[in-house]
Amino acid sequence: MRVHPLSAAVFGLSVLVIAGALFFQYAVGLVPCELCLLQRWPWYAAIALSAAVLVLRSKPAVLVAPFVFGALFLGSSGLAFYHVGVEEHVFAGPDACTAPPSSSHSVDDLLKQLQATPVVRCDLPQWNLFGVSLAGWNLLASVLMVVLCGFAWQRDRRLQVPA
């Protein structure tokens, strides 16, 4: 069986999205909030599942792939929608904040580290492009992936119907 185009697209685009998130975190220095970290999980899952479909190339996996990927990105869209709503103060955000792991060996060191650690709030975007935050761009990317999965399902269905 040949390479499944949807799985290849999902794999490549998911790797790009995660690479972008990691770039902003490690190269630009943006510290992700709890919702930012949570929004990465569907993309990580998409990488793993699409890689499995690409390696297995089994007909059942290829047939179910559009539904699984579509559901995954629908969930990703929901998380991103919630985060955008938190940023716009439509929804209440989580109480948690994100901080780097502690390497202190004493209470005084821990206290100094905690005081020096910035609190990352989910309701304050750290960066935006054209007025759209990273959560907003994730929402757009997730919705586009749902649409891509829908088109792939339609295409696969047409290819399987005998003429």
Q: How far is CA 86 from CA 5, 43, 76, 77, in A?
A: 35, 21, 15, 14
Closest CA to 121 of 93, 163, 145: 93
Secondary structure letter of residue 132 according to DSSP: E
Q: How many independent structural domains does the chain possess?
A: 1
**Distance (Å, whole) CA 49 – CA 52:** 5
CA distance 53 to 11: 10
CB 21 within 8 A of CB 68: no
Q: Report pTM.
A: 0.78
Q: Provide mean pLDDT across the span 64-80.
A: 92
Structure token pair of residue 67:
């539904």
Tens-place pLDDT, residues 95-146: 655 445 556 677 777 677 666 666 676 677 777 788 768 888 899 999 999 9
- Contact status, residue 72 vs residue 45, Cβ threshold 8 Å: yes
| Mean pLDDT computed over every residue of the chain | 82
Number of H helices, E strands in the chain: 5, 2
End-to-end CA distance of the chain: 21
CATH number at residue 73: 1.20.1550.10
The domain in which residue 146 lies consists of 5-160
